[in-house]
Amino acid sequence: MAITVKPLDAPLGAEIIGLDARNITPEDSKTIFDAFLKHHILVLHDQHLTDAELVEFGKCLGPIEKSRFISPLSGRDDIMVISNIREDGKPMGQLPDGEMSFHFDRIHQKQPCRAAALMAIEIPKEGGDTLFSNMVLAYATLPEETKQKLVGKTALNRFTYGATAPDMRDNAGPQCVHPVARTIPQTGEKSLYVCRLMTDHIEGMDPDESRKLIDELCDHAEDPRFVYAHQWKVGDIVVWDNRATMHARTDFSETERRLMKRVTIGDDQPPIP
């Protein structure tokens, strides 16, 4: 049975219908990758995969990267566990609690990942939604004067592991400089590439002017007209293009369990202007 790609009623994203993510043909892989490039976000429902099956599904989009932390809830080095489940007070997963500011994954590294696929296993009754902003659309709708300001500009991005808000960041974490606007190689689209959580300053600018411009760009990119909010159901898988979207998380009760498993898909080149 052929799978269907149904665009979401949102500024980005499409639902993949009729796919059993445990059994993917080469034709399915091509359809998924083409939809990924076009829509930036893919949503699949009613998928209940083992860790190994989730890894195999992720390979549709590229090579799988290793997780920084091996969780006892998986035991695999290619599965990132995002969870607030604790044993003896110790989190069993990464990024356990509450709200998280908008960010790009691994923008603080020389070669950020291309994509990620996240599967919901346990979710709270409310909250814990994931917000995705269309950074291609955000760039396209910038005033022309602002676009000209960004030509040739680069920004330093920092991250403190475990940080979920800008005021939790320090100068000791890993950091990397990337273009403020990047080009997606397969499509030629330009994507705004700064975020609230990790972008520290724009190189070569007065600090106050740099901070003002970053805040303006983030305010613009976080506007609801560019954002899709995914309200999770158990068995959902969401795939996102980490070059064309940034994402955030809404708050949820620390008294309710949340368990998500993710595979991270590597890229074959660093961001290009």
pLDDT per residue as tens, the chain (273 positions)? 689 999 999 999 999 999 999 999 999 999 999 999 999 999 999 999 999 999 999 999 999 999 999 999 999 999 999 999 999 999 999 999 999 999 999 999 999 999 999 999 999 999 999 999 999 999 999 999 999 999 999 999 999 877 888 877 677 779 999 999 999 999 999 999 999 999 999 999 999 999 999 999 999 999 999 999 999 999 999 999 999 999 999 999 999 999 999 999 999 999 999
Cα separation, 170 vs 263, whole angstroms: 27
Cα separation, 153 vs 145, whole angstroms: 14
Is 124 within the bounds of a domain? yes
CATH number, position 209: 3.60.130.10
As for how many domains the chain has, the answer is 1
Range of the domain at 136: 4-265
**Contact indicator for 249, 99 with CB cutoff of 8 Å:** yes
Is 272 within the bounds of a domain? no
Phi, psi of 90 (to 5 degrees): -100, 125
Sheet holding 115-122: strands in order across? 4-7, 14-17, 41-44, 237-241, 115-122, 259-265, 80-83
Is 271 within the bounds of a domain? no
**Contact indicator for 217, 143 with CB cutoff of 8 Å:** no
Is 270 within the bounds of a domain? no
Tokens of 270: 């660093």
